[in-house]
Chains A and B, each alone.
Chain A
Amino acid sequence: MKSALHLGSIALLVVTWIVASHMLGERLLPEPKAVVLALLDEARSGALAFNLSVTLLRVFASFAIAMALGTLIGLLMGRNPIFNWLADPWLIVLLNLPALVIIVLAYIWAGLTDTAAIAAVALNKLPIAIVTIREGARALDPMLDEMATVFRMSRRLRLIKVTLPQLAPYLVATARSGLSLVWKIVLIVEMLGRPNGVGFEIGAAFQLFDVTRILAYALAFTVVMLAIEAFLVQPLERHVSRWRLRPA
């Protein structure tokens, strides 16, 4: 039933695409068939695999940095009021700084390098991760903390077995929203200052008004991100909530 609905909805999307393509014309919106053919062309030349892997590496690097730092700082801010007051103005500035400003400044200060690109993306994701994890840290159950204290649990054991499992729903939420944000920003960063990657290819196609290639790369990367969601994020979520009673 569920998969039938899914398939029906995808078929409807393709039909809408074809109809819109006929209304707008081949140049503005090519048919799905043309996009798939362009995609196969890119795949055959090896450019698709190269660009996808370069972009994915950037996505994972900046995602990992933002998650690690965001968890650390979010935990500190949620648990320690002095640190929270100190860091809060910085957080608000960073939260409201436009992505474009961070990217451009990173390229100016650190040069047109991968380090600058990854740092700029991580910095865009970081404040959102901090805010979510901080809420999680504030919601930690003091009763369980007291239990860990009276039973003399070590700091390390406490972090791994008591604190992080309580943060798990917040971590999964941050990971899910983070991954989709990060890959969108990576594309902009690539377009502005990298010589390869999906973002660079889309930027080049834009110069030539080559809508077919733009759609081909967008489609390929969306499929990759959907696969990551289905095969990585969702199983992880099921694992961290395995102890919850399943609704009958």
Chain B
Amino acid sequence: MYPAGVSGRLELHIKNKSYRTVTGGRLHVLGKLSIALAKGDVAALVGPSGCGKTTLLRIIMGLDRDFEGVVSLPADCRLGVVFQEPRLLPWWTVEENIRLAAPQASEMALSALFATLGLTEHRLHYPGELSLGLARRVALARAFAVEPDLLILDEPFVSLDAPLAARLRAELIELVSRRPVTTMLVTHSIDEAIGLADRVFLLSPSPAHIVADVPIENPRGPRSADEIAVMANRIKRAANLA
């Protein structure tokens, strides 16, 4: 079910989600889990690979309706999604790709977005001419161009080298601080979750349930490597206690 929720609020209560396997059995992916986010919250989902994070995101996006439970999205929710792969249309230029997803975006807003993400000189390039890092930036730009009510990011910085991932994280922080938006970020890096989120949800191995829900103090503020290590330890301890 997808009822329209209180404005700006994302609530999801999942009882059970399983897949039918090729051999006729059932693969239990998600257990009982609930997440509620207020408008503007940035949540990070962290869990071992294969625990059902992407499945959870697909349920929220409405791409998978075969589950038991309720998802309520903000009323008239506009979605901005950054998939694991950039998923750009190779036969349209960078700019056309973004305008197709966000036809209402003004020239000014787009120019600002291109400038923030360092894409200005790539506006007329085709996706095949871009490196993976650039293509991921275009995917980020597309998600922000729609001015979403709910932003979903599925491991958006995976397989990028560390300095580039750090730069894109900084750009993401800048975009979120400029226009607060309810955000759901999937990652398997606790450090990344600490750097970006207000709340970190730790998921168990499949069938996934939430083992810890840790609020982050002074979210997206500047911190030293030591501070991050201390926070990461605290989150890992919370996970073990649960």
Chain A residues with CB under 8 Å of chain B are: 143-144, 146-147, 149-153, 157, 161-162, 165, 168, 240, 243-245
B89 touching A150, Cβ below 8 Å? no
B126 touching A144, Cβ below 8 Å? no
A151 touching B79, Cβ below 8 Å? yes
Contacts A149-B63, A150-B63, A245-B129 given; indicate if A144 touches B79 (C-beta within 8 A). Answer: no
Q: Give the CA-CA distance A26 to B142 in the complex, in Å.
A: 71
A165 touching B129, Cβ below 8 Å? no
- Choose, from B80-88, B112-120, B188-196, B204-212, the stretch at the interface: B80-88
Q: Is the interface of B mostly helix, strand, loop or mixed?
A: loop
Specify which of A144, A146, A244, A245 is in contact with B89 (CB 8 Å cutoff).
A144
**Binary contact track B77-110/A, C-beta < 8 Å → 1, others 0:** 0110101010101111000000011100000000
For residue B180, CB closer than 8 A to chain A, the reply is no
Specify which of A143, A152, A243, A245 is in contact with B83 (CB 8 Å cutoff).
A143
Closest to B87 in A: A147
Closest to B102 in A: A151
Contacts A143-B83, A243-B128, A245-B129 given; indicate if A153 touches B101 (C-beta within 8 A). Answer: yes
CB distance from A63 to the nearest CB of B (A): 25
A144 touching B87, Cβ below 8 Å? yes
B146 touching A151, Cβ below 8 Å? yes
B79 touching A243, Cβ below 8 Å? no
B83 touching A147, Cβ below 8 Å? yes
For residue B61, CB closer than 8 A to chain A, the reply is yes
Chain B residues with CB under 8 Å of chain A are: 61-63, 78-79, 81, 83, 85, 87, 89-92, 100-102, 126, 128-129, 142, 146
Q: Give the CA-CA distance A48 to B87 in the complex, in Å.
A: 53
A151 touching B81, Cβ below 8 Å? yes
| Residues of chain B within 8 A of A168, CB atoms compared | 91
Q: Is the interface of A mostly helix, strand, loop or mixed?
A: helix
CB distance from B136 to the nearest CB of A (A): 14
| Residues of chain A within 8 A of B62, CB atoms compared | 149-150
B61 touching A150, Cβ below 8 Å? yes
CB distance from A192 to the nearest CB of B (A): 43
Q: Give the CA-CA distance A153 to B142 in the complex, in Å.
A: 13
Closest to A166 in B: B91
B87 touching A243, Cβ below 8 Å? no
- What 5 A-B pairs have minimum CB-CB distances, sorted nearest first? A151-B101, A165-B91, A243-B126, A147-B87, A243-B91
A143 touching B128, Cβ below 8 Å? no
| Residues of chain B within 8 A of A165, CB atoms compared | 89, 91-92
| Residues of chain A within 8 A of B129, CB atoms compared | 245
22 contacts between A and B (CB under 8 A): A143-B83, A144-B87, A144-B89, A146-B63, A146-B83, A147-B81, A149-B61, A150-B62, A150-B63, A150-B79, A151-B81, A151-B142, A152-B79, A157-B100, A161-B89, A165-B89, A168-B91, A240-B91, A243-B91, A243-B126, A243-B128, A245-B129
A161 touching B87, Cβ below 8 Å? no
Closest to B86 in A: A147
Q: Give the CA-CA distance A153 to B100 in the complex, in Å.
A: 8
Q: What 11 new A-B contacts, CB under 8 Å, besides A151-B102, A165-B89? A: A149-B61, A150-B62, A150-B79, A152-B78, A153-B101, A161-B100, A165-B92, A168-B91, A243-B90, A243-B92, A245-B128
Q: Give the CA-CA distance A168 to B90 in the complex, in Å.
A: 13
| Residues of chain A within 8 A of B87, CB atoms compared | 143-144, 146-147
A150 touching B91, Cβ below 8 Å? no
Closest to B152 in A: A150
Q: Give the CA-CA distance A47 to B89 in the complex, in Å.
A: 50
Closest to B101 in A: A151
| Residues of chain A within 8 A of B91, CB atoms compared | 165, 168, 240, 243
Looking at B85, B87, B90, the one whose CB has the most chain A CB atoms below 10 A away is: B87
| Residues of chain A within 8 A of B128, CB atoms compared | 243-245
Looking at B81, B83, B91, B142, the one whose CB has the most chain A CB atoms below 10 A away is: B91
A143 touching B85, Cβ below 8 Å? yes
